[in-house]
A and B are shown apart, each in its own frame.
Chain A
Amino acid sequence: MDSLAGKKPAVVWALNISVLALVLLWLFPTMGLFVSSFRTSEQITSSGWWASLFPAEQTLQLRALDPDDFRIETSAGVFVVEGNINERDADPLEITTWGTSSRDPAAFVAGETSDLGDGETMTLSPDGTYIWQGNDDQMSGRGQRLFVVATVPPEFTTDNYKNILFSPTNSENMAKAFFNTLTVVIPSTIIPILIAAFAAYALAWMDFPGRALLVAAVVGLLVVPLQLALIPLLQLHNAIGIGKGYLGVWMAHTGFGLPLAIYLLRNYMVGLPRDIIENARVDGATEFQIFTKIILPLSFPALASFAIFQFLWTWNDLLVALVFLIDSSGNTTVMTKQIVELLGTRGGDWEVLATSAFISIAVPLAVFFMMQRYLVRGLLAGSVK
């Protein structure tokens, strides 16, 4: 039964609008980062990112042509410089107001003439042409400054990404950290799946004393905060000579991922039909064959769920990398660590921060949207029974 059926249209409208508001509220923060990563630093500091999506009034500082080269003597002692401020720009500006001082950039409407004193005048037309007139003394040196308030269409650039991903001279290049993160993530995702799948099968379909106790232990370990593991394991890694490095971080991620992996896979495997497994046993298949030929292929959805969890968790991790991987040389830094550092050193440079953060977010987001179905399924298997 549809509980909406027969409701007043007003209620349906209210429902749609409130969900829309919720969606926009949840999207807004990420949009801010995304849009900012395509703006130059001047754009970011001159207006909020939400304003950049629409044509905006902006104050631009321009300069008339150099009078020493371009002035024309119209009559004795009267010089004129004519030109068009649009000549330098590809898109013609729509000028609304203008001025000759930074204090009041909106002093004149387009087409008006400004009196600069002692007979010196400046006229700026809406199409960008200007006539600047004065005597020999006034018409020398540098060109007159013009402050123009114009409507500027939205403008975006990919320069930030070029700079941060592909510029070899940039010390804040993310490419290295990106590959380091990838190096951490892939083994940390694959190895626990294998180990956990065997254990989950034993816990789901093999009969042995102590099985219930082990399942309970896994459930318990599921919530043990990994904060407790930091010091003892670092001591252990130092003692057996691994120290800080990739091997240590792979092992740590494997260990920390195991409870969830075993729990998810066991829950899924328990639900597989008993007949298939018993028939195979009767037909003389060994447990190893049953596992590799029947259980593993059938458990693909659960394996995929866990793989996504582990991928997201290891990709987004900061703490484990800080403790087990990143040494003082900084060669093994991961993206999350590099972004935290940027927050400290480049706190106000949003073009760098937004772009770096978005690079690190982009991969998990892509995985999320492609594999959402498995993620949802895994979440449901992990917490609802």
Chain B
Amino acid sequence: MHPALLGVITIVIGVSGCVGYFYGANLLLDKVIFPARGPNMGRNINRREMIRPWIFLFPAMLGLGLYLAYPVFATLRLSFLERGAGDVYTFVGFKNYVQMFAEDKFMEALRNNILWLVVVPAASTAFGLLTAQLTDRLRWGNFAKSVVFMPMAISFVGAAVIFKLIYEARPEDVAQIGVLNHLYLTFGGDAPQQWLTIPFWNNFFLMAVLIWIQTGFAMVILSAALRGIPEETIEAAVIDGANPFQIFFRIKVPQIMSTIVVVWTTITIATLKVFDIVFAMTNGQWETQVLANYMYTKMFVARDWGMGSASAMIIMLLVMPILVWNVYNARKEMR
């Protein structure tokens, strides 16, 4: 069957299935199982209102449970197993982890990931805050914000192509078509550089892609937070003779600190999962490996599911503090 036709059929089945389920289940509950009439009317109404939330929740809980909660435990289990001949799994304890930590490529991925986690959220948040502050009172500020926000819509793969063009190196005797080498030669560089193959520094050239994408996100949220600062606090500071830098760092930043933390942690999560950029630009060569790409290589190239799962668990472990912190905050807010 043609996939587009299959798609249309899926939409129709999916949508009508969802609507049918919700409508039918509600109807069944109201008219058949606990009808609001007869001798048990009061009890019936109470009971059906107890059941109804679960009808509303069931498909979502099934989806969340099957596609997000169950895999966490399944991956944990897999990380302690080893696949032998004939798809027989045997329990090997921490062997996968031990083996992984002994691998240079894994340690390199871990080191790079930590480097990414330090640089990308800091740089994106700083650029975002700077842009938000600079464009705040500008007449064409909204246009400027749109432009900085735009990379959010661009895929990591698209961004990888865009930045590969920037980093392109051509032989010394012909025109440079990568802007970085063009500038490098204009400002006194001796020979065109293959930027993505220079160990250690190439990590930063990859990070630039994510910073370019994430700055817009930080800017949008911090800009809204800056707008929310009570004017009186700034007025008071102006009257007291504070200069613009003091107003910014002593008055504004402390008041939006909680938002800065939210932005920072959100970008941290995005950074931890970064896969496409490295996969498309270097595929982990020249010491640019990161955990997500290491995991992909282990799972789908080397077909070592034990070690792949073990490295996925390392990513999960790194996400854990933020997960706990988010849940803690959400609970606090619900009260």
- Contact residues of A with B, CB < 8 Å? 1-4, 15-16, 18-19, 22-23, 26-30, 32-33, 36, 44-50, 179-180, 182-183, 186-187, 190-192, 194-196, 198-199, 201-203, 206-208, 211-212, 214-233, 235-236, 246-247, 250-252, 254-256, 258-259, 262, 286-288, 291, 312, 315-319, 322-323, 332, 336, 339-340, 343, 350, 353-354, 356-358, 360-361, 364-365, 367-369, 372, 375-376, 379-380, 383-385
Contact = CB atoms under 8 A, between A and B. Distances in A.
B272 A199 contact: no
B174 A45 contact: yes
Smallest CB-CB A-B distances: 5 pairs: A255-B67, A316-B155, A199-B60, A232-B74, A368-B153
Contacts of B141: 19
B57 A202 contact: yes
Given A26-B148, A199-B59, A323-B300, 15 more contacts: A3-B238, A45-B170, A198-B59, A216-B327, A216-B331, A224-B68, A231-B305, A235-B74, A258-B68, A259-B68, A288-B23, A322-B296, A357-B162, A383-B262, A383-B266
Contacts of B78: 231-232
B308 interface: yes
Contact of B158 (A47, A180, A202, A361): A361
Interface stretch (B94-102, B117-125, B274-282): B274-282
Contacts, number: 343
Interface in B140-158: 141, 143-144, 146-158
Interface string B171-191: 000111111001000000000
A380 B217 CA distance: 10
B316 to A, nearest CB: 6
27 contacts: A19-B135, A27-B147, A29-B163, A44-B177, A179-B4, A180-B3, A191-B11, A191-B14, A198-B59, A206-B52, A208-B54, A224-B316, A225-B272, A225-B315, A227-B275, A227-B296, A227-B315, A230-B299, A231-B309, A232-B70, A246-B10, A287-B26, A319-B296, A354-B161, A357-B158, A365-B154, A380-B221
B148 A22 contact: yes
A19 B136 CA distance: 11
Contacts of B56: 198-199, 201-202, 206, 287, 291
Contact of A368 (B7, B61, B135, B152): B152
Contact of A256 (B26, B68, B300): B68
Contact of B64 (A50, A218, A318, A323): A218
Interface string B13-27: 011001100110010
B334 interface: yes
A328 to B, nearest CB: 12
Contacts of A1: 231, 234-235, 238
Contact of B157 (A26, A227, A316, A367): A316
A206 B247 CA distance: 45
A225 B71 contact: no
B254 interface: no
B177 A49 contact: yes
Contact of A215 (B146, B295, B334): B334
A223 B323 contact: yes
Contacts of B153: 312, 361, 364-365, 367-368
Contact of A228 (B14, B151, B315): B315
Contacts of A32: 162, 165-166, 179
B69 A221 contact: yes
Nearest to A208: B53
B312 A3 contact: no
Contact of A316 (B50, B158, B331): B158
Nearest to A18: B134
Contacts of B161: 33, 339, 343, 353-354, 356-357
Interface string B217-236: 10011001100000100110
Contacts of B157: 316, 318, 336, 339-340, 357, 360
Contacts of A236: 66
Nearest to B142: A372
Nearest to A261: B60
B322 interface: yes
B111 interface: no
A194 B273 contact: no
B273 A225 contact: yes
A8 B182 CA distance: 37
Contacts of B19: 194
Nearest to B311: A227
A183 B180 CA distance: 38
A228 B71 contact: yes
B138 interface: yes
B115 interface: no
A87 to B, nearest CB: 28
Contacts of B269: 223, 225
Contacts of A226: 68, 273
Contacts of A255: 63-64, 66-68
B323 A220 contact: yes
Contacts of A315: 155
